[in-house]
Chain A
Amino acid sequence: MRWLSRPASATQVTHGSRLWLYALAAVVLAFLTLPTLVVVPMSFSASQYLEFPPRQWSLRWYESYLGSVAWLQATRTSFAAGALTTLVSTPLALMAAYGLNTLRGRWAAIIYAVLVTPIIVPVILVGIAVFYAYVRLNLVNSLMGIVLAHSILAIPVALMVIASALKSYDMSQELVARSLGAHRLKAFLLITLPQIRFAVITAAVLSFLTSFDEVVVALFVSGGDNSTLTRNMFNALRDQIDPTIATISTIMIVVSSLLLAGAQLFGRPKRP
């Protein structure tokens, strides 16, 4: 307990006198992290009602999920949409980030602002506007429609991550590579890209999650054979609440965690 009387900061406040602060911080941290974890044990509950903590444990809801054509279809759609969104938005954001990084100046700032608007505009408006357009373009309830809509939501995220990495990257390496005989594209691919690898992987993971987790646009734009997990979940929440939703939630939490952990582990630059 001697730790309590040691100074915690330059102004010689002791840890003991700041305990309330640490307690508050701990409470807030718990508030942030714990609620989400509630759904995991719930998915293993034997009961039909939403109860926590579960009185009996069972895998019945997982069986129900695996046996449900609708849920499996939705899972397939969500993963496919996520993967395709990643494949579309990451390269597009990478190109845009590189172009903007080289351009600088007023035009670059304007284009950057335009590319970021999808996350500033209230998402309901994006949803209904895209829906409105898709009705006329016959893209409603199509996988491509979902992918295009999710891509515009993912591009700003990917762009910001990659642009930030490019800003702190030492461009003189690319310049040297060019002076040594590599044209711009080759220098980028051989020298710059390997070094912003972490950012690109992070951008890809975040693009996937942006699509995978997305609710509002999917509500309007996905459906029929191409309904996403989130859309089905949302409708289920409004109609009947059954613990299969807890199962879906658990799956989504696991997917997010694995992807984020993967990005952290494999994205890091190689150590000699």
Chain B
Amino acid sequence: MGESASLPIAVRQLTKAYGAVHALDHVDLDVKSGEFLTLLGPSGSGKTTLLMVLAGFVRPDSGSVRFGTQEVVRLAPHKRNVGMVFQNYALFPHMDVAANIAFPLKLRGVRREEIARRVASALELVQLGGYGVRHIDQLSGGQRQRVALARAIVFEPRVVLMDEPLSALDKQLREAMQLELRRLHERLGTTTIYVTHDQREALTMSDRIAVINHGKVMQLDAPRRIYDRPANRFVAEFIGESAFLNVDVAAGQCRFAGRTIEVRNMPAVEGRCQLMLRPERLRILDQNEPVAANVLDGVVTNMVFQGDTLLLHVRLGDGSAISVRGPSNEAGVAKVPGIGNPIRLGLGAGDAIILPADGG
């Protein structure tokens, strides 16, 4: 299975309305050739609709979709040459594994010997060599998913679309499959669009993530930047844990509770803003350390042991309630003042995110 010439995807002004509800709202999106892009969002956000439009199963009201230089938005699904993997695998139960995988090749008039060779090769690629004669109901969930995958790539499509393919699997299997999908993608280099509502999955697998809500792209960025530099409140809240404090910004300076907060990437805003903190980015400081910038003082109101981490609930001076997450090893526990005791927290300048007050 050689490297296929993959295509970039260009989406312009894609709109789809169901009555008064906009499933897609003038969406613009550029996917690089060979990229693994995840569409991430809550249910009803439009991510699946977008995928279905790319596949050709949902007809948008207006918009343009280009695979490379070819306009495909009006092209019938069977002419688009995309490989698709559904959440429920959608394997053909009246055919065995080999027949399922051979299906797209037969449709393309590939010769019998060639079909056999490529089916075997695809099965090897998904680590199911020799499973060709099995019937679908003899397979486990993970195996079915891999057959669906093999079927979707055996004909060397230039784009692969996946609609929450791992949601039906249990946690351990899901995590193993995530890595396998990633490995497969690196091997084949096909442009892949992946839909999920699981942010951890998105962060693990993607080259870039498009966070989608209410039919709009809220942010399109690499996983690291999405996590560290959310562009708006929705993205900040949807990915990872977050807390927001009301702060004042004047002349490029941010102040909270009478102290300065240094912000490495200060946006051009003024007045009342929101400071976003992630619980795991706050450091517990020694009470005796001198007060410098980026220090928050508060009182511990609760402490929850969560296995791999310790979660502290803290009430700050101005009444805001935030969480702090720290290691649960001996050293970590030793650092924590008891419930009801004062606590001093430190925030790195790079970890301080400023968002406009109206939610961005």
Contact = CB atoms under 8 A, between A and B. Distances in A.
Q: Do chains A and B touch in the complex (CB under 8 A)?
A: yes
A243 B299 CA distance: 100
- B contact residues, range: 20 to 34
A180 B104 contact: yes
B55 A195 contact: no
B88 A181 contact: no
Given A181-B107, A191-B92, A272-B96, 5 more contacts: A170-B88, A177-B103, A180-B107, A180-B155, A186-B107
Interface of A: 170, 172-173, 175-184, 186-187, 191, 194-195, 269-270, 272
Chain A interface main SS type:
helix
B154 to A, nearest CB: 9
19 contacts: A172-B86, A173-B90, A173-B91, A173-B92, A175-B57, A176-B86, A178-B56, A178-B57, A179-B56, A179-B57, A179-B82, A179-B83, A180-B103, A180-B152, A181-B81, A182-B107, A183-B78, A195-B94, A270-B94
Contacts of A183: 76, 78
Nearest 6 CB-CB pairs, A to B? A272-B135, A180-B104, A181-B107, A179-B84, A176-B90, A172-B90
B215 to A, nearest CB: 22
B86 A178 contact: no
A148 B241 CA distance: 69
B140 interface: no
A187 B103 CA distance: 11
A173 B94 CA distance: 11
Contacts of B93: 195, 269
A186 B76 CA distance: 14
B146 to A, nearest CB: 15
Contacts, number: 67
Contacts of B76: 178, 183
Interface of B: 55-57, 76-78, 80-84, 86, 88, 90-94, 96, 103-104, 107-108, 135, 137-138, 151-152, 155
A191 B57 CA distance: 17
Most buried by B among A173, A186, A269, A270: A173
B34 to A, nearest CB: 20
Contacts of A184: 78
A28 B258 CA distance: 87
Most buried by A among B77, B82, B138, B155: B77
A182 B57 CA distance: 13
Contact of A181 (B55, B92, B94, B108): B108
A242 to B, nearest CB: 51
Contacts of B108: 181
Nearest to A175: B57
B177 to A, nearest CB: 19
Given A175-B57, A176-B84, A181 B90 contact: no
Contact of B104 (A175, A181, A270): A181
Contacts of B81: 181
Contacts of A177: 92, 103
A175 B56 CA distance: 10
Given A172-B86, A272-B138, A179 B94 contact: no
Nearest to A194: B94
A180 B92 contact: no
Contacts of B82: 179
A187 B84 CA distance: 15
B77 A179 contact: yes
Contacts of A180: 78, 83-84, 103-104, 107, 151-152, 155
A181 B83 contact: no
B86 A181 contact: no
Given A175-B77, A177-B103, A178-B77, A170 B90 contact: yes
Nearest to B138: A272
Given A172-B86, A272-B135, A272-B138, A179 B55 contact: yes
Nearest to A270: B94
A103 B86 CA distance: 23
A272 B80 CA distance: 33
B155 A181 contact: yes
Most buried by B among A170, A173, A179, A191: A179
A176 B155 CA distance: 14
